[in-house]
Amino acid sequence: MENAIYTPDNLQGKASDKIQIITDPSQKELKEHGSYQFPVLVSEETLSRYTSGVFLWHWHKEIEFTLVLSGNMFYQVNEDIYYLSEGEALFGNSNTLHTGRMDKNKDCRYLSVTFDSKIIYGYEGSLIQNKYVNPLQQDISFSSLHFDLSETWHKEVIGHLQKLYEITEQDNCYRELDTQLLLLKLWRILVSNRPHQVKETKKFEELNVRRIKQILTYVENNYTVKIELEDLARHINLCKSECCRLFKRYMGISLFEYIIEYRIEKSLLNVTGSDISITETALTVGFSDPNYYSKVFRKLKGCSPTKYRLEYHTRMKD
């Protein structure tokens, strides 16, 4: 599978291969969403496909709608956390940081509709782009919207997403045309119903999101060595306490927890894909104490790195 990291089964013992989002140092997703000729990707997904039932923090320039087909999930966009139930949907704006995870280790099946906004406006500088797309897409204060059926028009949005799902399941010779028509209808509903928020917060929120991305980039570039909070805070021009507070507010976990979990995820490639010793693996991803690495690994993955490696190789031979 393209852009996938294969890892052992999760704690439920499922036999399918696990994947994880592949990103660049700024956490921008590297996966293609459609093609240049037709920049739309409609796909059915399950959280159980991802290691630990979580797709990690990432962002992309494309806009995304998510429709829960079965189960429930926690979905966070920037600092906003949503609980999505079956039949509910979510809009995620361009360039927003987002992550999703299982609720109580129970799987969630969902539809992901990701597209470049040019499928709506056609060409750069068009009237459609300037009047109907840019004002919404460039509004940093409008990062997401939960369609929870609390408004009558939410049902219409969900209905169009369900039709997009039906199109992908059918052998439809007009699939691209029908898909574009439905996306235009979705955009028309969104433009006419989006809440008008206070614009004074726009620049402040934009700065915060930029700082979060700078922190993520810093961690990506330095996770193999000791990260000093003072150096990181200086890098984004904040004091140490404000740096930690900002990160916790947006990411939902402390900066320390994020760095530890990020290092564990980065270590999986060595654990499963090489013969490098566990001690060396720990040192490679920034743990100075291999015993502490094994302790954290067991806490997050449910078993020791050695057992994780053994189960992976055993399964690959089957």
CB 62 within 8 A of CB 42: no
Query: Does domain 40-197 match CATH 2.60.120.810?
Result: yes
- In this predicted structure, the answer to whether residue 164 has a pLDDT above a threshold of 80 is yes
- In this predicted structure, the answer to whether residue 43 has a pLDDT above a threshold of 80 is yes
Residue owning tokens 């060396």: 280
The interaxial angle of helices 175-193 and 152-169, nearest 10 deg, is: 160
Return phi, psi of residue 44, to 5°: -90, 130
CA gap 238, 59 in Å, rounded: 23
What pTM was estimated for this model as a whole?
0.74
Report angle CA 157, 161, 162 to the nearest 5 degrees: 115
SS3 168: helix
- In this prediction, residue 15 carries a pLDDT of 33
Instruction: State whether the Cα torsion 96-109-81-10 is positive or negative.
Output: negative
CA gap 196, 178 in Å, rounded: 30
pLDDT band at residue 138 using 50, 70 and 90 as cut-offs? confident
CB 189 within 8 A of CB 2: no
The CATH architecture that domain 201-317 belongs to is Orthogonal Bundle (1.10)
- In this predicted structure, the answer to whether residue 289 has a pLDDT above a threshold of 90 is yes
pLDDT, mean of residues 49-74: 92
Of 260, 136, 228, nearest to 188 by C-alpha is 136
Domain residue limits, the chain: 40-197, 201-317
Could you give the C-alpha distances from 65 to 119, 171, 293, in angstroms and in order? 14, 23, 37
How many CA atoms lie less than 13 Å away from 197 in the CB half-sphere? 14
- In this predicted structure, the answer to whether residue 12 has a pLDDT above a threshold of 50 is no
pLDDT, mean of residues 152-156: 96
Q: What is the pLDDT of residues 237-286, one digit of tens each?
A: 999 999 999 998 888 789 999 999 999 988 988 898 888 999 999 999 99
pLDDT band at residue 7 using 50, 70 and 90 as cut-offs? very low
Q: What is the pLDDT of residues 165-223, one digit of tens each?
A: 999 888 888 999 999 999 999 999 999 998 765 445 556 677 888 899 899 999 999 99
CA gap 246, 143 in Å, rounded: 17
- In this prediction, residue 16 carries a pLDDT of 36
Q: Which residues contact 298 (CB under 8 A, 6 or more apart)?
A: 304
First to last CA, the chain: 19
How many CA atoms lie less than 13 Å away from 159 in the CB half-sphere? 8
- In this predicted structure, the answer to whether residue 316 has a pLDDT above a threshold of 60 is yes
- In this prediction, residue 203 carries a pLDDT of 63
Cβ count within 10 A of residue 254: 13
pLDDT band at residue 136 using 50, 70 and 90 as cut-offs? very high
Query: Is the model more confident about 233 or about 210?
Result: 233
Q: Which amino acid is at 186?
A: L
CB 146 within 8 A of CB 158: no
